[in-house]
Amino acid sequence: MDYLTIAHCFEMLHRRSQNFLVYAARDFQLTYSEYVLVLNLYECEGRSQDEIAACMYVDKAVVTRLIASLEKKKFIYRRRDIQDQRIKRLYLTEFGREQQDFLENLPIRWIDTLTHDLEEEERIAMLTIFQKLANRAENANFNQI
């Protein structure tokens, strides 16, 4: 098995998926990271900046820059936590909520494009395997590899 080719395939899928999402959301001028942050809020609005950083596997400074940009683009706003004033919680603006269906459907469009000629059982198997691989990657302990 040619592992270098497989690694290249993963890289290509990742890079082209990012490119598609940025292209498809070009009217909003969203970067890929901004897109991911907004999707996180659709899933669980009111997360703190620290919680978003942990979900996205990036440092807090990156999230701070993304938040500032998304505030300028009128997608989100920050509000201090009622119980702990040091914590800022993130919420969608009305404009951000209005884009939810469109933005959440972009990955579906992309996956449908990539899998349109697969048999249904091939498609289900591929999606199941990708989910398993993603779970393993998320839980991987780099010290044990």
Q: Is the pTM of this model over 0.85?
A: yes
Per-residue model confidence (pLDDT) at position 21: 97
Mean pLDDT over 21-29 rounds to 97
CATH number of the domain to which 107 belongs:
1.10.10.10
Write out pLDDT tens, residues 100-123: 999 999 999 999 999 999 999 999
- The boundaries of the domain holding residue 73 are 3-144
Residue 119 in tokens: 């048999």
Write out pLDDT tens, residues 132-143: 999 999 899 998
Q: Which of 14, 29, 47 is nearest to 133 (CA)?
A: 14
Number of domains making up the chain = 1
Write out pLDDT tens, residues 50-91: 999 999 999 999 999 999 999 999 999 999 989 998 899 999
Per-residue model confidence (pLDDT) at position 111: 94
Q: Which of 89, 81, 80, 76 is nearest to 38 (CA)?
A: 76
Cα separation values, 67 from 31, 46, 72, 74, Å: 12, 13, 9, 10
Per-residue model confidence (pLDDT) at position 145: 86
Q: How far apart are CA 137 and CA 145, in angstroms?
A: 12
